[in-house]
Amino acid sequence: MNKFRPEANFVQGLSGDFIGKHNLFRMVREFARYSNIDNGYYMEFGIMNGDTAITAYRNLRGYVNHIYGFDTFSGHPEQKKTDQIHPEYAPYFFQGNYAAVSDEFCKKNIAAATLLDSNNIHLFKGEFSNTLQSFEKSQLNDKGFPICILVDCDLYSSAKEVFDFLTDICQTGTWLLIDDYWCYRGDPKLGVRKAFDDWIETNPRIGVSFYCNFNAYSRAYICHEK
């Protein structure tokens, strides 16, 4: 058993005192309903076994009709130099941690829990540096609105690739959930927070409005086109 497991369980319990993912996805649903968004997709970067995608779909059923998930499915990749500054601030982040059972398991898990047609569950296995480069964005053209996007990949280098990829995907009204915003002791120079802040400052197309913190380490934003 992973030596960090007991603490991980503690964080799960702690999260119940905050706005949890379940309630946040309920708000995303209400927002979609009230904003004339009736058909679209959910994306998750770092989907692992699909557990959060299941929670998302259960709350967004009838609005979300496709799930896109990206992961190595073998856990964290080798860290880049930019991920190795103050590793002691984020001891859960090391190569191979958070390995999924498998991509097939993830798909079956989501299909069984949501009854979503497995043709509508799109999983991309490998490091983002490969899967995002080769992803055909035109396949999204007939999938409706990007309703909700969860970035849950822990590392600066991973998140940087994801945000660059998202610049021409997000639209006005897309919810962008940043899972690891407060990791690395909240240091704005590190981790997913740094990748997100840099992207917001430099990308030419997308701005965000802060909505709330949730689930202890996470933040929710609503995108707009600049």
Ligand X SMILES: C[S@@+](CC[C@H](N)C(=O)[O-])C[C@H]1O[C@@H](n2cnc3c(N)ncnc32)[C@H](O)[C@@H]1O
Give me the residues that bind ligand X (CB under 6 A), please.
44, 46-48, 51-52, 71-72, 75-77, 98, 100, 127-128, 152-155, 158
Q: How far is the CB of 142 from ligand X (least distance, A)?
A: 26
Q: How far is the CB of 190 from ligand X (least distance, A)?
A: 15
Closest residue to bound ligand X by CB: 46
Other C-beta atoms lying within 10 Å of the C-beta of residue 212: 13
Query: Cβ distance 214 to 220 under 8 Å?
Result: yes
Q: How far is the CB of 71 from ligand X (least distance, A)?
A: 5
Q: Which is nearer to ligand X, 59 or 158 (CB)?
A: 158
Select from 112, 9, 98, 116 the least CA-distant residue to 47: 98
Q: How far is the CB of 46 from ligand X (least distance, A)?
A: 3
Q: Which helix (H) or strand (E) holds 157?
A: helix 156-166
Q: Which is nearer to ligand X, 37 or 68 (CB)?
A: 68
Distance from C-alpha of 198 to C-alpha of 25, rounded to nearest angstrom: 26
Q: Which is nearer to ligand X, 37 or 103 (CB)?
A: 103
**What is the DSSP secondary-structure string of 92-138?**
T--TTTT--S-HHHHHHHHHHHH---GGGEEEEES-HHHHHHH--GG
Q: Which is nearer to ligand X, 37 or 195 (CB)?
A: 195
